Amino acid sequence: MQKSRLSIKQLWGITFLIWTVIALFHYAQFYLEHAAGDNEFLWFATTFEFMVNYYSWIGIAAMVVWLGKKFRPQPAAWALPLFVHVASAITFALLHLSIIATVLETIKPTAFPGYTFGETFVFAALQLFHFECLLYGVVLALSYGFENYAAEKRPEETESSKYLTKLTVKNNGHTRLLQTTQIDWLEAADNYINIHAGKTSFMLREKMHVLETQLDPRNFQRVHRSAIVNVARIKEFIRGDNGNYVIVLDTGHNLPVSRRRREQLQRSISQLR
């Protein structure tokens, strides 16, 4: 059976957690540098600065993801997306550096005595501009990676869309739509198929081998020449004294299983449960 996989929200949550851990390591490093140099460590000011500087990137990251969806690089059209992302990386880097300079000027004026806002901004830019641009690329790459992960996670939905989910059937002169999930089993009757669903039976003018190709094989299995069963309705799989196998449905019906279809049916049952 396929193992469960993390959701996109969980992956973004893990990314946020890793980002927090990196911030804490940086914070600890900053503290140790001050302690080693016998400099005063301003707890409140430094904590506030780190929180604003690191978590203000959350809002920027949301805009990066949006731009990534709107300007996705394609083999035939890569120039415009590349220009947009390079320009956006520079713009967001300058934006975040402005936030950092504002925090340094407002919360920790003693850190840069006599510095103007412009001088503080230049100081931050010389140290962090390349890092800010790199962050843009990392967030963009993560968004594409998670998007591809989500697409790979839905093969069952894509596969299921190829098969019927409803059948147009007749009963006592009335026509209705029957959900395939309501079907217990199907029985061949010449050019018709007798569809058993609960206590009611419906007739469908169709060949058994044609309908078989239109039903999801993970849910419906042919057990012998004239019968197809909904695997979810199988209650027991029994071997008789003569060596032949019989399935018991939760409706109480007993249906023989042909030898050549037995192994496939057993695999389907094991995967379902």
Tell me: the pLDDT tens digits for 41-85?
777 777 877 888 888 888 888 899 889 888 888 776 788 888 999
Mean pLDDT across 109-114: 58
What's the pLDDT band for 2 if we cut at 50, 70, 90? very low
Alpha carbon distance 211, 194 (integer Å)? 12
CATH fold group of domain 163-272: OB fold (Dihydrolipoamide Acetyltransferase, E2P) (2.40.50)
Which residue bears the tokens 């600890």? 28
What percent of the chain shows pLDDT beyond 90? 12
Average model confidence (pLDDT) across the chain: 82
What percent of the chain shows pLDDT beyond 70? 88
14-28, 86-100, 198-212, 257-271 — which is least confidently predicted? Answer: 257-271
- pLDDT top residue among 244 and 140: 140
Amino acid found at 242: N
pLDDT tens digits, 216-270: 988 898 988 899 999 889 888 888 777 788 888 988 888 888 888 887 887 777 7
Enter the pTM of the model: 0.50
Give me the pLDDT at residue 149, please. Answer: 75
Give me the pLDDT at residue 35, please. Answer: 76
Alpha carbon distance 128, 134 (integer Å)? 10
Q: What residue spans define the domains of the chain?
A: 8-153, 163-272
- pLDDT top residue among 85 and 160: 85
Give me the pLDDT at residue 185, please. Answer: 93
pLDDT at residue 90 tops 90: yes
What's the pLDDT band for 183 if we cut at 50, 70, 90? very high
Cα pseudo-dihedral 74, 75, 79, 80, rounded to 10: -20
Please name the residues in contact with 33: beta carbons below 8 A apart, sequence gap of 6 or more.
none
Mean pLDDT across 204-215: 89
pLDDT at residue 190 tops 90: no
Alpha carbon distance 169, 192 (integer Å)? 11
Which residue bears the tokens 């430094």? 46
Give me the pLDDT at residue 111, please. Answer: 54
